[in-house]
Amino acid sequence: MAVDKMTPVISDSPNGFAEVERAISRACRDAGRERSSVTLVAVSKTFDADAITPVIEAGQRVFGENRVQEAKSKWPDLMANYPDIALHLIGPLQSNKAKEAVALFDAIHSVDRASLCEALAKEIVKQDRHPQLFVQLNTGEEPQKAGIAPADADAFIASCRDVYGLRISGLMCIPPVDDPPAPHFALTAKIAARNGLSLLSMGMSADFETAIQLGATHVRVGSSIFGKR
């Protein structure tokens, strides 16, 4: 056996993870915040169990996926080995997948329309499972992007509560790629504050430090941890 010739297979991901962890700690320190006030959602979409496992082994427990089907196909097996994993849905959710989403996810970041509220409310009661819910804002008012326009946010959040009985925990936003993100994060934080919402899902690989400065409680970081998709 040529043991001495074997090169260990080292994925990039534990290094990426360690670097992101360090950057989050630094950003928290700079902002005068506790590290524990920011949850890193490691976005593992398109990556398989072999890429994800080293990041779990390195200590990460919160993961984000953008498709219900993909999450269903890879996470139940991983969660059998690591039961303390929390899964967050960060992508658009079709109402007819609300049942599967409520069963699988611990948080849903993409609540963005009345029909989805209705479907989620029904499943939350039926399954007695209560994922954290974030309303997604379309702060750049981009026609191709999901989310509630800022001008409609207060009314939509109120209707989530009053019409559908949903407990909304926070807001999520994805700034337009070509805009400086800070004003979008600041607007999201302002709308959350005036609606009594304490959680802010904002910041991705390119801008999570800025988001932490502006109050993000959840940063959704994919490529900086796992590499290019």
**According to the binding rule CB under 6 A, does residue 223 interact with ligand PLP?**
yes
For ligand PLP, which is the closer residue by CB, 168 or 202? 202
**According to the binding rule CB under 6 A, does residue 46 interact with ligand PLP?**
no
**According to the binding rule CB under 6 A, does residue 90 interact with ligand PLP?**
yes
**According to the binding rule CB under 6 A, does residue 66 interact with ligand PLP?**
yes
CB 135 within 8 A of CB 157: yes
In 3-state terms, what secondary structure has residue 89? strand
Rg, Å, the chain Cα set:
18
Q: Tell me the closest approach of the beta carbon of residue 226 to ligand PLP, in angstroms.
A: 8
**According to the binding rule CB under 6 A, does residue 137 interact with ligand PLP?**
no
Q: Tell me the closest approach of the beta carbon of residue 110 to ligand PLP, in angstroms.
A: 8
CB 196 within 8 A of CB 212: no
Residues of this chain, 195-214, that bind ligand PLP according to CB under 6 A = 204-205
Contacts 24+ apart (CB under 8 A), 70-76: 70/45, 70/46, 71/104, 71/105, 72/100, 72/104, 74/48, 74/49, 75/104
**Residues near ligand PLP, by CB under 6 A:** 43, 45, 66, 90-91, 174, 204-205, 220-224
